[in-house]
Amino acid sequence: MTFQIRKEERSVLKKNRTNYLILFSLIVVGIVIASTFLNPPKDKIVTPKLEIKKTTEVIKEVEDIKKDDIQQIVIERGQPKNKKEMIIESFSWTSLKQRSPSGKYIVEVLNSKGEAINREKVDQSIFFFKENQTGHYKLKVSHFENNQLVSFGEINFILTPPKNSKPIQLNKYVMKYNSKGKCYRVDLPDYKTAMKYYVEIYRDKKMKRIVREIWSDKSEFCWHSSRDGRYYFRYKYIDYWGGRSLFSGSSEVIFPISPMTNF
């Protein structure tokens, strides 16, 4: 009886020892796994480098994307022309991605305040803009797509006064008498942007002794005088925007002794 009890005790002790060994093994394995996560090998884990872009670069990329979506055509500006008080600008464009299905374009011109001052429908890829007010402007080209106005592209431009050329020097000639005006008349070249002409008349060739100044709204001037002889004059013109040309070279005029030809 005593032997049987001791045998059972030894069996229980053996079983407990086995359980302790299993528990110890599990604890060791757990420690190894935990240490691996807490202290990973440096040569096996590679941390990817993150490319951090500046805010300005990100904004620029967004603007470029928006520009690509809108700017589908290249708008070219021609040489400006002038007529009296008007500046005439020409614009043309060629579609890069698509063209208006209807073949018609909507062209808008905005002033520096963003106000639309001109809006036209054109059938061809060319547009003429006439304006006498100088300053900053923007031209936008659009078309209708699915009943919505879609922008093709735009261009900023500046209207500036024309560059006035130097007036032509006139050859010497005898002034003729105008019976209607009872004066001697001289015809001047007609300049497209000229609004007024200013003439200086001198008695001597060196142009030291000025005898008269004349303002004229036309490309001609009339001189009342009873003295014959040789005189010298030069002129310049003033445009609509107040710009003045240079003076012409001096020209010699000869007064006849008596009135000669009526015209």
pLDDT of residue 67: 47
pTM of full prediction above 0.75: no
pLDDT of residue 143: 83
Q: What's the 3-state SS for the chain?
A: CHHHHHHHHHHHHHHHHHHHHHHHHHHHHHHHHHHHHHCCCCCCCCCCCCCCCCHHHHHHHHHHHHHHHHCCEEEEECCCEEECCEEEEEEEEEECCCCCCCCCEEEEEECCCCCEEEEEEECCCEEEEEECCCEEEEEEEEEEECCEEEEEEEEEEEECCCCCCCCCCCCCEECEEECCCCEEEEECCCCCCEEEEEEEEECCCCCCCEEEEEEECCCEEEECCCCCEEEEEEEEEEECCCCECCCCCCEEEEECCCCCCCC
For the chain (263 residues), the mean pLDDT of every run of 10, in chain order, is 49 59 65 59 50 52 47 83 87 68 81 93 91 94 82 91 89 76 85 93 93 93 78 94 94 69 38
